[in-house]
Amino acid sequence: MFSKNNWYVAASVDEVKDKPLGRTICNEKIVFFRKASGTIAAVEDFCPHRGAPLSLGFVEGENLVCGYHGLMMGGDGKPAAMPQQRVEQFPCNKAYPVAERFDYIWVWPGEPERANVDDIPTPLWADNPEWAVGTGMFHIDCDYRLMVDNLMDLTHENYVHRDSIGQEEIEQAPVKSYAEGDTVITSRLMENIIAPPFWQAAMRANGLDPEQAVDRWQICRFTLPSHIMIDVGVAVAGKGGFDAPAEYRAGGTVIDFLTPETETRMWYFWGMARHFKVDDEQLSEQIRVNQHKIFSEDLAMLEQQQQNLLRNPDRRLLKLNIDSGGVLSRRKIKQMLAREQKTVA
Amino acid sequence: MFSKNNWYVAASVDEVKDKPLGRTICNEKIVFFRKASGTIAAVEDFCPHRGAPLSLGFVEGENLVCGYHGLMMGGDGKPAAMPQQRVEQFPCNKAYPVAERFDYIWVWPGEPERANVDDIPTPLWADNPEWAVGTGMFHIDCDYRLMVDNLMDLTHENYVHRDSIGQEEIEQAPVKSYAEGDTVITSRLMENIIAPPFWQAAMRANGLDPEQAVDRWQICRFTLPSHIMIDVGVAVAGKGGFDAPAEYRAGGTVIDFLTPETETRMWYFWGMARHFKVDDEQLSEQIRVNQHKIFSEDLAMLEQQQQNLLRNPDRRLLKLNIDSGGVLSRRKIKQMLAREQKTVA
Amino acid sequence: MFSKNNWYVAASVDEVKDKPLGRTICNEKIVFFRKASGTIAAVEDFCPHRGAPLSLGFVEGENLVCGYHGLMMGGDGKPAAMPQQRVEQFPCNKAYPVAERFDYIWVWPGEPERANVDDIPTPLWADNPEWAVGTGMFHIDCDYRLMVDNLMDLTHENYVHRDSIGQEEIEQAPVKSYAEGDTVITSRLMENIIAPPFWQAAMRANGLDPEQAVDRWQICRFTLPSHIMIDVGVAVAGKGGFDAPAEYRAGGTVIDFLTPETETRMWYFWGMARHFKVDDEQLSEQIRVNQHKIFSEDLAMLEQQQQNLLRNPDRRLLKLNIDSGGVLSRRKIKQMLAREQKTVA
């Protein structure tokens, strides 16, 4: 249950250099490649000659050469050439709108004429020297909406991530969930608490005494189709919380771009953007490694939850106050799909 | 083709200590856990909150805590608590009758109101200091009834286990198969023969000359739903066989509790109980290791037999005299299922 | 889409020595075994007693003994004996016509009465001391007809095998494809070119200067049901090409026996027969290793092509002039199947 008429993160920029990359996005089997001129192209991963995967081929100039018999596929899906052949009458491949924006390659797996690159979001931290960004990716055997639920209800931190970012106060703090247009916000503030290990390490890195009381915030923002940015951090207690002066705080934004592969598999592009000590590369690496460890703790849970749901298709789940962020986000997805269906009809 | 309204071995006692155990029994996905008070509980492995597997959680007091968002599940299937939530209206999980008896945890995957713990069998060797017991477990990709056939026709020993317990005399000795109520018995006596290697080792351990002639017995007892105990052993020839005085014999009971996982997979709880040299722990370990080796020889055969039968659903198999133990046992299973269907209707 | 009423290579002679071999050919699960007298037999891999795979058994005299309960299966599919049993009334297994010819065991998976061992092809190099033969085998997850296409269009060499036998002149040379009875021939001649690495090594081995210009030939011969022999080689330019005197040439025949396992899996028996330096065993081994490396380069392409075609069952592929060898060969297969259907009806 996903909409193809949206921009999704398909890959990190690093994944598509001189070799093509085959990846399925929203059930579309796509090959991405970087032309000699530097721009990215995305076409069906199927050679119109004999059905070979173009992703096993190689880039030559502005084209992708099929590694089986040499058909040269243009970035527009039109066969550009083939040794000793006239290709004008060859059938064309679907070509997908694609764009490179900050650290990612974005693709629009739906109807090309509806794509507008200006709709690709530009977070504050994107290409911004005042922020340091570290990222990673997981391939997970679950419906991407289970990850929406996961990220829009952070009480799970006290169970799944109890040794790093979990603490009881997350559950105790009141949660506030609401929609603003197509954005869903769910937030929690914990005042005058002791920071958990992950944030104590961040305080230490930022020159703060990690033992002192802090105010901690978690502000999750879901936007369609499935992007979630979470402002997280701590500030010395009573100094203004999220709005505290830089010298009293350590914080950042958790990056979560969720991309459906199929109905029950997803690509998870995660990361952390921070705006303190942005030049400290050792700190960046330490945060990236810790985040990798923390986020990998969710995998078994999500994949077995998916299996459980497939086994019990008729069983209704609970929708508690802590679930309201996920429930509102799923409603936005549903409304978007309904709008789309109306447009099509 | 199995009946859920029966007691099955679900796990060895050692498998459920401080952590929960998820295991599918008769198509029911169950989580087993040991309460702080020491008793065992078994409920559906599905959190009513969001469908997470409870088996990824942890025990706290008398409850199992979901490892995703902290719902506390009671052993009776009723949610007992959840941080900041009122759980009285939460839907309940199925709870399964469960009991700990001698070395095993037993479960009744069917209708709870029909379960009676007094129906759990208590073999002679259970919690009996005059016997030494060693056990093990295999997870096998076959219908549990193929294992019933296997254990109720020991002529296979001369082929599958020819280097340890096989010998031609098994095939040559007449087999006697009959039912006594719901028990099926199939037995063989081999008189004045040389013992095979496994039994020569047992004779040596029991202070007997392994080269002398012996009488060997195999008495298989099938009881519903799928338990098979096999009296096996040797005695110095002419001293009374099974009834020979202790100083002339070496023998024991092969333990076989067969538990269906699905229609084509099973859990096999095997073991050996002996009543000679019961304090010789080195001997116990030697027997356990040998039995593990011997029983693992059956696995490839059973799993490939299952595949062959699935490929050839219409092909009729033979029912020879050697198969009569298995044939009678399967008839008992069929009759039990028919009775049950009548009761339901 | 294959015909069972044909001779297929089932195994190399080396694969069936003292132990039976289970292998599925054209959807028939068959066990092959070598009798004590030396001849090969092939019967269904299913024991009529309890359905165990006979391939887990052992050979005794002229029979295959089931490794479960000792039924002795004759090479004619009739149970020959079983300990303490009368087997006269036992049901019989299908027995498959089978023959050992030169380096292979051949089987006829269809109607036995239509099999004639004289129809097994005898290539020039078979059991011929003037030729040296090296062979190998791959199990590939693709329709065998994708391999027919592969071998009947060698332009792929310039892409898949570009470091060994590929060169641009393959694409540039005109291709000639035609049928002669049930044989399809597709051939290319490249005149006055520099040999690619594989052939330069062969020239060196045959005492020729590898840097000098050569004429290179590729003559693919497809015969029903799915055998492809390819004459390949080079000769010093202007010396007569394929017909050049032995001292000016290096050449051989690529052996390709394609055997369907199922609709989407195949056994690929490949090899190279050469008639120069036939006694040079080091050269034989070097060629075999190189060919193994070259042919393994096709596997990922063929298997992913198969997956692509299964995902896109309605998409029509192109049939270019370079594909004409494969197109004509597939037409022969189709005609054969049509003839067969007529015969049956």
Calculate the average pLDDT of chain B: 96
* Domain finish residue from C96, C119, C142: C119
> A207: distance to nearest CA of chain C, Å?
53
Return the pLDDT at C275: 87
Please report, for the domain that includes residue B77, its CATH number: 2.102.10.10
C274 located within any domain: yes
| Residue of C23, C28, C68 best to disrupt the B interface, most CBs of B under 10 A | C68
Tell me whether residues B308 and C51 touch, CB distance under 8 A. Answer: yes
Chain A neighbors of C305, CB-CB under 8 A: 50-53, 68
C2 located within any domain: no
Task: State pTM to two decimals.
Answer: 0.95
Residues A171 and A276 in one domain: yes
In this prediction, residue C342 has a pLDDT band, given cuts at 50, 70 and 90, of: confident
Tell me whether residues C51 and B156 touch, CB distance under 8 A. Answer: no
Please report, for the domain that includes residue B147, its CATH number: 3.90.380.10
B290 located within any domain: yes
Q: Which of B46, B69, B82 sits opposite A153 (nearest CB)?
A: B69
> B57: distance to nearest CA of chain A, Å?
8
Chain B neighbors of C56, CB-CB under 8 A: 300-301, 304
Please give the helix or strand (H or E) that residue B178 lies within, else none.
strand B176-180
* Domain finish residue from A119, A151, A176: A119
Closest CA to C83 of C62, C105, C103, C66: C66
> A268: distance to nearest CA of chain B, Å?
19
Residues C165 and C314 in one domain: yes
In this prediction, residue C341 has a pLDDT band, given cuts at 50, 70 and 90, of: confident
| Residue of A142, A150, A307, A320 best to disrupt the B interface, most CBs of B under 10 A | A320
Pick the residue from chain A with its C-alpha nearest to B82.
A171
Closest CA to B151 of B248, B253, B50: B253
In this prediction, residue C340 has a pLDDT band, given cuts at 50, 70 and 90, of: confident
Tell me whether residues A56 and C155 touch, CB distance under 8 A. Answer: no
Residues A104 and A13 in one domain: yes
Return the pLDDT at B342: 81
For the segment C63-88, what is each residue's pLDDT rounded down to a tens digit?
999 999 999 999 999 999 999 999 99
Residue C321 φ then ψ, to 5°: -60, -35
Let me know: does B134 contact B284? Beta carbons within 8 Å: yes
Maximum alpha-carbon separation in chain C: 75
Return the pLDDT at A340: 87
Name the interface residues of A facing B (CB cutoff 8 Å): 149, 153, 155-156, 158-160, 168, 171-172, 300-301, 304-305, 307-309, 311-312, 315-318, 320-323
B212 located within any domain: yes
Tell me whether residues B51 and A317 touch, CB distance under 8 A. Answer: yes
Residues C139 and C276 in one domain: yes
C72 located within any domain: yes
Name the interface residues of B facing C (CB cutoff 8 Å): 149, 153, 155-156, 158-160, 168, 171-172, 300-301, 304-305, 307-309, 311-312, 315-318, 320-323
Residues A112 and A145 in one domain: no
Pick the residue from chain C with its C-alpha nearest to B313.
C51
**A340: burial class by Cβ within 10 Å (0-12, 13-18, 19+)?**
middle
For the segment C258-283, what is each residue's pLDDT rounded down to a tens digit?
999 999 999 999 999 998 899 999 99
Residues B303 and B190 in one domain: yes
Residues B188 and B307 in one domain: yes
What is the number of structural domains in chain B?
2
Chain A neighbors of C313, CB-CB under 8 A: none
A-C C-beta contacts closer than 8 Å = 70
**Average pLDDT of C182-201?**
96
Return the pLDDT at C344: 62
Distance CA C142, CA C147 (A): 8
| Residue of A150, A302, A308 best to disrupt the B interface, most CBs of B under 10 A | A308
Calculate the average pLDDT of chain C: 96
Chain B neighbors of C49, CB-CB under 8 A: 317-318, 320
Flag whether pLDDT at C131 surpasses 60.
yes
Pick the residue from chain C with its C-alpha nearest to A27.
C311
Q: How far apart are the first and last CA of chain A?
A: 18
Q: Which of B149, B171, B323 sits opposite C83 (nearest CB)?
A: B171
b/e per residue B130-151 (b: at least 16 CB within 10 A): ebbbbbbbbebebbbbbbbbbb
What is the torsion angle, in degrees rounded to the nearest 10, for the CA atoms of residue A297, residue A300, residue A302 and residue A308? Answer: -150
| Residue of B148, B302, B306, B308 best to disrupt the C interface, most CBs of C under 10 A | B308
Tell me whether residues B156 and C68 touch, CB distance under 8 A. Answer: yes
A72 located within any domain: yes
Distance CA B20, CA B12 (A): 13
Residues C163 and C200 in one domain: yes
Residues A115 and A146 in one domain: no
Tell me whether residues A56 and C172 touch, CB distance under 8 A. Answer: no
Tell me whether residues A69 and C155 touch, CB distance under 8 A. Answer: yes
> A317: distance to nearest CA of chain B, Å?
5
A2 located within any domain: no
Pick the residue from chain B with its C-alpha nearest to A154.
B69
Tell me whether residues A51 and C300 touch, CB distance under 8 A. Answer: no
A151 located within any domain: yes
Residues B189 and B297 in one domain: yes
- Parent domain of B316: 132-344
Chain C neighbors of A92, CB-CB under 8 A: none
B-C C-beta contacts closer than 8 Å = 69
Chain A neighbors of C158, CB-CB under 8 A: 70, 83
What's the token pair of residue C98?
């089978």
Tell me whether residues C322 and A69 touch, CB distance under 8 A. Answer: yes
Name residues of chain B where pLDDT drops below 50.
Answer: none
Tell me whether residues B68 and A304 touch, CB distance under 8 A. Answer: no
* Domain finish residue from A87, A119, A151: A119
| Residue of C153, C311, C318, C319 best to disrupt the A interface, most CBs of A under 10 A | C318
* ipTM score of complex: 0.95
Task: Give the 3-state secondary structure of chain C.
Answer: CCCCCCCEEEEEHHHCCCCCEEEEECCEEEEEEECCCCCEEEEECCCCCCCCCHHHCEEECCEEECCCCCCEECCCCCEEECCCCCCCCCCCCCECCEEEECCEEEECCCCHHHCCHHHCCCCCCCCCCCCEEEEEEEEECCCHHHHHHHHCCHHHHHHHCCCCCCCCHHHHCCCEEEEECCEEEEEEEEEEECCCHHHHHHHHHCCCCCCCCEEEEEEEEEECCCEEEEEEEEEECCCCHHHCCHHHEEEEEEEEEEEEEECCEEEEEEEEEECCCCCCHHHHHHHHHHHHHHHHHHHHHHHHHHHHHHHCCCCCCCCCHHHHHHHHHHHHHHHHHHHHHHHHC
Residues A299 and A167 in one domain: yes
Residues C325 and C203 in one domain: yes
Chain C neighbors of B300, CB-CB under 8 A: 56
For the segment A147-192, what is each residue's pLDDT rounded down to a tens digit?
999 999 999 999 999 999 999 999 999 999 999 998 999 999 999 9
Chain B neighbors of C85, CB-CB under 8 A: 320, 322
pLDDT in tens, chain A (345 residues): 999 999 999 999 999 999 999 999 999 999 999 999 999 999 999 999 999 999 999 999 999 999 999 999 999 999 999 999 999 999 999 999 999 999 999 999 999 999 999 999 999 999 999 999 999 999 999 999 999 999 999 999 999 999 999 999 999 999 999 999 989 999 999 999 999 999 999 999 999 999 999 999 999 999 999 999 999 999 999 999 999 999 999 999 999 999 999 999 999 999 999 988 999 999 999 999 999 999 999 999 999 999 999 999 999 999 999 999 999 999 999 999 999 888 765
